[in-house]
Amino acid sequence: MERHLLEYISMSTFVLDCPSELSVALGKRPAEVAREVQLMAALRLYESGRISSGLAASLAGMSRVEFITTCGQFGVSIFQQTPEELESDIANARAC
C-alpha cells in the first residue's frame, strides 16, 4: 500500500505505559521509543502470521515495499511457510 493511501485508513490509538527506564535502556527519546515499539509490534505480528504484510506496513506507518525491506533488515522472513511445508515443496519440486 502506498504511503499516500495510508491517510485514508481508519486508525485506532492505543496507549502503552512503559517505564521511563526504557528510553534510557534504548538510548532514545520517548517519541523514538514509541516508533520502535510500533515497528517491533508490526514485525512480530507479521512474523507470527497473525496479520498480513499490508496491515503490518500500515501499523508500522510505511508502505508495503518499505515494510518488506525492513523485514529483511530485522531478519524476519517474508515467506510464511512452516519448515514442514517448505520441505514438502522442495520434495515435490525434486519429484518433477
pLDDT in the model for residue 9: 63
CA-CA-CA-CA torsion sign (40, 82, 69, 56):
negative
| Distance separating alpha carbons of residues 33 and 39, to the nearest angstrom | 10
Supply the pTM of this predicted model: 0.75
Going by C-alpha positions, the residue among 13, 84, 82, 71 that lies closest to residue 39 is 71
pLDDT in tens, 17-50: 989 899 999 999 999 999 999 999 999 999 999 9
Distant-in-sequence, close-in-space partners of 33: CB < 8 Å, separation ≥ 6: 18, 22, 23, 26
Domain positions in the chain:
3-95
Is pLDDT larger for residue 11 or for residue 69?
A: 69
Cell numbers standing for residue 95: 519429484
Is pLDDT larger for residue 2 or for residue 45?
A: 45
Is pLDDT larger for residue 84 or for residue 42?
A: 42
> Which percentage of the chain shows pLDDT scores above 90?
59
> Which percentage of the chain shows pLDDT scores above 70?
91
